[in-house]
Structure 1
Amino acid sequence: MRLNDRVALHEILTHRQDLLRQLISVTGVDPRQAIAQVSEEITIIEAGLATLAPE
């Protein structure tokens, strides 16, 4: 991924958001640690997107 690659960051963000939705719906195991990690990654990705110049 290139630095300042908005498209790639959006793709990663979409993937993490889908993963988070799937983790939230998991039953039979405790997904809290994975949910916390993915939520943290989403926050970091969104912060990165916010620092890029608007298109």
Structure 2
Amino acid sequence: MSKAMELIVAGYVKVRDRRALTELLAHRREMLAQLQAVSGVTTEKAVIAIQDEVALIEAGLKELAPPPGG
């Protein structure tokens, strides 16, 4: 996974910018859908990288979620 993406997500979590994380997640999901629709070339490594980024962003969003019952 890219260190840059880790730093970006950590920065958004630190400043509690849920909107930016949500937009980043939507962008990465769109990229993933486009990569998965490609035929004729191998996109496996790119797909795995984007899936890792999606998981990282989702983890960041979970950090911003209010505690259960609160």
TM-score by length of 1: 0.90
Stretches of structure 1 lacking an aligned partner (at least 5 in a row):
none
CA drift of 1:53 comes to 3.6
Query: Distance between the aligned counterparts of 1:26 and 1:41, measured in 2?
Result: 19
Aligned to 2:48: 36
Query: Distance between the aligned counterparts of 2:62 and 2:32, measured in 1?
Result: 21
Stretches of structure 2 lacking an aligned partner (at least 5 in a row):
1-10
SS of residue matched to 2:41: coil
Tell me which amino acid in the other structure corresponds to 1:29: V
Aligned to 1:50: 62
User: Which one has the largest radius of gyration?
Assistant: 2
Query: Distance between the aligned counterparts of 2:17 and 2:39, measured in 1?
Result: 36
Q: Kindly report which structure 2 residues correspond to 1:8-47, keeping only aligned pairs within 5 A, or say none.
A: 8-47=20-59
Question: Where does structure 1 differ by over 4 angstroms across 4 or more consecutive aligned residues?
Answer: none
- Percent identity of equivalent pairs: 44
TM-score by length of 2: 0.71
Tell me which amino acid in the other structure corresponds to 1:52: L
More helix, by proportion = 2
Tell me which amino acid in the other structure corresponds to 2:27: H
